[in-house]
Amino acid sequence: MSGQNTRTSLGLSENIEAILSYVFGWLTGAIFLVLEKENKFVRFHALQSLVTFLGLFILSTVIRLIPILGLLLSPLIAIASMVLWLVLLYKAYIGEKYKLPVIGTWVEKQIDKE
């Protein structure tokens, strides 16, 4: 767990910035990845948000193009995305560096390289 009162380059506590990096999915993930230069906890959540939700957005867009299968799978992807989004928001809120399988490990390696 990370300290919830640690300041960031934007002057907010890190768990608030981490939450905000998930609020509008990949878009706010990209914004906080650009704006937050120092705090690795926030950068981790921002990059995880960007990779996860951009990937899900692309997947759902491609799936919708497939005639019957798209109609069946799109609602399932939407529900799974919403549940995942809520879990990640909560984990960021409590100050936990919650790593998603595969994506979280890759994101952590990228952040550790900085």
Angle at 23 between CA 17 and CA 26, to 5 degrees: 100
Question: Given pLDDT bands bounded at 50, 70 and 90, which one contains residue 21?
Answer: very high
Question: Given pLDDT bands bounded at 50, 70 and 90, which one contains residue 7?
Answer: confident
User: What tokens appear for 10 in the block?
Assistant: 């934007």
User: What tokens appear for 60 in the block?
Assistant: 């759902």
User: What tokens appear for 79 in the block?
Assistant: 């529900």
Whole-model pTM? Answer: 0.90
Which one-letter DSSP state was computed for residue 98? P
Q: In the predicted model, what is the mean pLDDT of residues 71-78? A: 94
Specify which residues 99 forms β-bridges with: none
Checking if the pLDDT of 56 tops 80, the result is yes
Checking if the pLDDT of 110 tops 80, the result is yes
Tell me, what's the pLDDT at 114? 82
